[in-house]
Structure 1
Amino acid sequence: MTALTVPAGIDHAAVTQLLAELIEIPSVNPAYDAASPGENMLGDAVGELCRSFGCTVTTTDVVDGRRNTLARLTSATSEKSLLIEAHLDTVSLPTARTNDRQLDMSRAEVRGDRMYGRGACDVKGGLTAALLAMQQLAAQPLRSLDVVLLGAIDEEYQFRGVTSYIAEHLTDQHGPNAAIVLEPTQLQVVHEHHGVLRVEIGITGRAAHTSRPEEGRNAILGALRVIDHLEAWNDRSGGRIMAVTTVSGGTAINIVPESCAFGVDLRVLPWEDPHEVLATMVEEINDRAGDGLSVTVTQLLLDAGMATPAQTPIVRAALRSGGEDEAPARVPFGTDGSKLARAGVPTIVFGPGSIDQAHADDEWVDLRDVTMAAERIVAIARSLDAEDLHAPITSSGAP
């Protein structure tokens, strides 16, 4: 087992050492590299480090022997709990060097205030901050708030780590009272994010020779009509984000195309039900391809967004940790946070780094931001330790 070592305290040296060690433990999601051993080596190392802080650590098999790691730092009375979630998996390593840095992304490298390496930003920088915060909180225990760190597998593919945790731990009334999901938000407190609906839309017509196109039914032209209508429909949605991302059709340049298919990635609003959005989309396009053309819609991915009311204690505590001028934010990308929020846990997304660096061939995170994130997680936990987290909060819903 790889042993993690970290100096006491939250400072530049501790951040640099621990983050480098985390980066150099391979944890590529096997969905992106069949030869990858998965996340267990990283989860085991995180668990052992948390044990050294005095945490109780358990693991749960999720899929194909890949395990979630759960570490609980117990307070004096254990009246309430804060969940901190970090996914253990990363996307694959770059297969080609297309920039001038020539970095080996399986290794950690410091240049100035930046740490480079796969997962530095997404999300081992956030995991570093959480571990250092746990160490600090263990040294000065909380009165009533247990702090639970979940190292979840498979966020980068099918969210099976967090959904397994929810199925195991949130089926009764004794789940966490609040959650921080670690993702690169540039230290913004994210209380809302979009959901996602991905579909493939197929148009079927009739082939004909291009010298007599009127005898056919052109599926590509039908697809263009549907796309035009979808764009107009989406423009009226009040903030959804739509992209047509794939297209295929036709068999030869002298044959009127009988079929065409295109993919749509639609980022639904935080409070929308993606099932309802899908049903509306199907209704909108059913008759838009044209006479003699049929339309089919195949669902590829459906995931709701997250909308945590701004007055929730976790949001207020996180904002206080950043200063008086900070306001809660919304981001367009999805996270594990939406699953926790739908399970009834008031949740924010927060962490060092920018989504612009996540998954990049030269992925990096600013070490100063990791240090600040660790300090803010400590401040959030201490603030929640003094609050009543059981008081009901009324959801604000859509603005």
Structure 2
Amino acid sequence: MSTSRDLLKTLVAFDTTSRESNLHLIEFVRDYLAAFDVPSELVYNEQRSKANLFATIGPAELPGIVLSGHTDVVPVDGQPWTVAPFELTERDGKLFGRGTADMKGYIACVLALVPSLVSAQLRLPVHIALSYDEEVGCLGVRSLLAELEQRPVKPMLCIIGEPTELKPVLGHKGKLAMRCDVHGEACHSAYAPLGVNAIEYAAELIGELGRIGNRLKAPEHHDARFDPPFSTVQTGVICGGKALNIVPADCRFDFEIRALPSHDPSDVARELKTYAEQHVLPRMRAVSEQSEIRFSELSAYPGLATDAHSEAAELIAAFSGSRAFGTVAFGTEGGLFDAAGIPTVVCGPGSMDQGHKPDEFVSLEQLNGCDEMLRRMLLSIS
């Protein structure tokens, strides 16, 4: 009988940085479940270098509860770790290692519960869902959800174990990440008016993004449940130019919208595109007809807004022991599960204050608390 701590030690040792394969971890979980006669379904990516895992314990013909987590972690490159990031280190009641908080601690607790799930007389099934590439845009879980949507019986609840300090979370913002490529006309900087300066026109578009973002800050757009209480827009990457004495022909910038669940982030992208087509591109083409402004989507996922009076909310309140429902600023796969018709909440051990940082950790107290939350879930369906 492996404890959640034992299992976390094993899981942390797998380097599942998003740029790497997660198959070694997935195959470990598959074999672990098989030892308890629990079969697993693997849903691979096109290259078969990564996979989602889905397993069911209990009466599969009934609605049940999904315990869901992502297996990938963010890089450790360039971070000043004081412990080995892919080895579990215990110190002062804390367990250090990449992914301990985000979110292998939760997965370890789920796996530690498996022997009890198998031996119990479950009235409802418990599903284990593990995904890949969450950290780079919630990519992998989409193929798993496409499979689940074809099934006649859908789960009644999904608990995504992102780190919330075991506080039940019913909402988070959605995200749309976009790229804008601006192509102008190069020339010698001594004759700058004869060229089309892509950097300057890109800067004009970025300025318009700022003005759109400022409008979204208006009180009538606020939702006090979130921090900040409005949708945000920001430009995170920009590149362009070859030399100071050359009018740059190309500039590229990436921007994102973190939108309240009630706000469609595509509205911002459409508004900027309209501005580009009506106010910027005509001036560029007046100098060079070859000028272009192109927009492309990098990644997107929907927000989550589970009703506080729903059955899903009642269940997580009973399991977590708290009705102090909250929201989080970071995104999860929750909006995708919800869009697939599976009511979803977010509740897991640890804090995102430690996630993505050097010396990431989860406390033993939080890990033990998650074990207890899952035991309460088990008692409610046995």
User: What TM-score, normalized by structure 2, do the two folds share?
Assistant: 0.84
Query: Partner of 1:162 in structure 2?
Result: 141
Q: Is the 8 A contact 1:201 1:262 kept in 2?
A: yes
Task: Tell which deviates more after alignment, 369-378 or 47-56.
Answer: 47-56
Query: Partner of 1:320 in structure 2?
Result: 318
Query: Partner of 1:358 in structure 2?
Result: 355
2:80 is aligned, of 92, 98, 101, to 98
Q: Could you tell me how far apart the structure 2 residues matched to 1:277 and 1:382 are? A: 46
Q: Could you tell me how far apart the structure 2 residues matched to 1:62 and 1:221 are? A: 40
1:343 is aligned, of 312, 316, 340, to 340
Matches within 5 A, 1:223-238: 223-237=202-216, 238=221
Matches within 5 A, 1:171-190: 171-190=150-169
Q: Could you tell me how far apart the structure 1 residues matched to 2:40 and 2:202 are? A: 53
Q: Is the 8 A contact 2:231 2:263 kept in 1?
A: no
Query: Partner of 2:88 in structure 1?
Result: 108
1:32 corresponds to 2:19: yes
Query: Partner of 2:170 in structure 1?
Result: 191
Q: Could you tell me how far apart the structure 2 residues matched to 1:165 and 1:210 are? A: 53
Q: Is the 8 A contact 2:79 2:357 kept in 1?
A: no
| Pair 1:203–1:68, CA change in 2 (3 A) | closer
Q: Is the 8 A contact 2:137 2:300 kept in 1?
A: no
Q: Could you tell me how far apart the structure 2 residues matched to 1:210 and 1:48 are? A: 64
Q: Could you tell me how far apart the structure 2 residues matched to 1:299 and 1:79 are? A: 38
Q: Which SS does the other structure have where 1:44 is aligned?
A: helix
1:280 corresponds to 2:265: no
Residue-by-residue CA offset, 1:228-269 (whole Å, 9 max, x unaligned): 211111222231222211112222212333332211122122
Q: Is the 8 A contact 2:137 2:299 kept in 1?
A: no
Query: Partner of 1:252 in structure 2?
Result: 243
Matches within 5 A, 1:1-399: 5-6=1-2, 14-24=3-13, 26-29=14-17, 32-33=19-20, 38-53=21-36, 55-65=38-48, 66-74=50-58, 79-92=62-75, 94-96=76-78, 98-99=80-81, 101=82, 103-142=83-122, 144-157=123-136, 159-237=138-216, 238=221, 239-289=230-280, 292-293=283-284, 294-324=292-322, 326-383=323-380, 385=381
User: Which runs of no fewer than 5 residues in structure 2 stay unpaired?
Assistant: 222-229, 285-291
| Pair 1:186–1:222, CA change in 2 (3 A) | same
Q: Could you tell me how far apart the structure 1 residues matched to 2:12 and 2:340 are? A: 31
Q: Is the 8 A contact 1:88 1:152 kept in 2?
A: yes
| Pair 1:59–1:225, CA change in 2 (3 A) | closer
The structure whose RCO (Cα within 8 Å, separation 6+) is larger is 2
User: Which runs of no fewer than 5 residues in structure 1 stay unpaired?
Assistant: 7-13, 387-399
Q: Is the 8 A contact 1:81 1:146 kept in 2?
A: yes
Q: Is the 8 A contact 1:69 1:152 kept in 2?
A: yes
User: Shift of residue 54 of structure 1?
Assistant: 5.6
Q: What's the RMSD between the two structures over aligned residues?
A: 2.7
Q: Which SS does the other structure have where 2:207 is aligned?
A: helix
Equivalent pairs, count: 362
